[in-house]
Amino acid sequence: MTYTKSVTLAVPPDEAFALLTEAERLRRWQAVSAYVDLRAGGAYRWTVTPGHVAGGTFREVEPGKRIVFGWGWEGSDDLPPDASTVTVTIEPDDGGSRVTLVHEGLDEQQRAGHAEGWEHYLERLRTLAATGEAGQDEWAWAPAELTPITAAEAALAALQPLLRSLTAEDRPKQTPCEDFTCHELVEHLFTSLEQLGAMAGATVTRPGEGSLEDKVSVTAMQTIDAWRAVDLDGTVTEPSGRELRASFIAGILPIELVLHGWDLAQGTGRPLRLSDEVVGYVRTLAEDVVPTGRGRSFADEVTPAEDATPLDRLAAFAGRTPSAA
């Protein structure tokens, strides 16, 4: 069966093509992360929502006009990567663009599910083209199955809009971590992500160019993907040779993203929006991790305000005091 949908975008065809194919722009409307090798025979891999990864191969690429790519889902027996075909055409339309998406090779149930998905994301694409921002994706808000991996992806999805809003004026601002300005905190986060990736057996490389959001997103997803391949019921080895529970180390990843996201939000006065479900899950991970790091990575627990949000209470458990206080 086939699904077809057209939308009109308030941008010219070349810009529409960029929104559909560039990783940094895909993260604004359709993906938590996106790897794109944009050429015939090149592969792509998009974490659409936490725990759900689409992938396949580009079959045809006509810049500004048309892309054809295989579509499927990692871990799916019914529709694995490249098992169906998506064709997107872009045409000029009254000063903007008309984008038509055709998804072929689906059975009836798959068509129904993908129709819902494409309707949701094409509307976000239309909003992005019209306003420059699609907002946080509600489908990435609270993963149905929370694990250290999906929690880290949900935290990254929440952190990305904040990172996009930062400017050079925010770099010297103080965060609740007394040792770090906003710039220093981000540098610390990069180091943490690289070290956590190494614990999962990966060499994590920070991009040398691009926006701050792009650098953090690409670095974080390298680390997340490395941990996706680790058996969390097993152990990992520290550089010193000591073996630790893999689940314990994996739990540090979403804690780092959530707490340092909170630090940046406090330091810059910008919002960080995370679902109570994700915050609650990360709190359970923190109860295992934070006490072992007090006096080093974490200060003593502080008393939160009576009206503190779950996120503020998590920060207080980790020894942080809101900047406004």
Domain 141-317, CATH class in plain words: mainly alpha
Phi-psi region of 167 (alpha: psi -120 to 50; beta: other; left: phi over 0): beta
CA dihedral sign, ordered 28, 40, 91, 99: negative
CA dihedral sign, ordered 58, 59, 65, 71: negative
| Phi and psi angles of residue 286, each rounded to the nearest 5 degrees, phi first | -65, -35
39: number of Cβ within 10 Å? 9
- pTM for the full predicted model: 0.95
| pLDDT per residue as tens digits for the range 105-128 | 999 999 999 999 999 999 999 999
Query: Where do you find CATH 3.30.530.20 in the chain?
Result: 3-138
User: In this structure, what is the dihedral angle of CA atoms 129, 131, 134, 135, given to the nearest 10 degrees?
Assistant: 170
Reply yes or no on domain 3-138 having CATH 3.30.530.20. yes
Q: Please, which residues have CB within 8 angstroms of residue 14's CB and are 6 or more apart in sequence? A: 63, 64
Total residue length of the chain = 325
Q: Which amino acid is at 289?
A: V
pLDDT by residue for the chain (325 residues), tens digit each?
Answer: 999 999 999 999 999 999 999 999 999 999 999 999 999 999 999 999 999 999 999 999 999 999 999 999 999 999 999 999 999 999 999 889 999 999 999 999 999 999 999 999 999 999 999 999 999 999 999 999 999 999 999 999 999 999 999 999 999 999 998 889 999 999 999 999 999 999 999 999 999 999 999 999 999 999 999 999 999 999 998 888 889 999 999 999 999 999 999 999 999 999 999 999 999 999 999 999 999 989 888 999 999 999 999 999 999 999 999 976 4
Distance CA 146, CA 220 (A): 18
Distance CA 69, CA 42 (A): 9
Token representation of residue 101: 């998406």
Distance CA 266, CA 323 (A): 6
Distance CA 4, CA 110 (A): 14
Query: Where do you find CATH 1.20.120.450 in the chain?
Result: 141-317
According to DSSP H, which parts of the chain are helical? 13-21, 23-26, 108-131, 148-165, 182-199, 212-228, 246-268, 276-289, 310-317
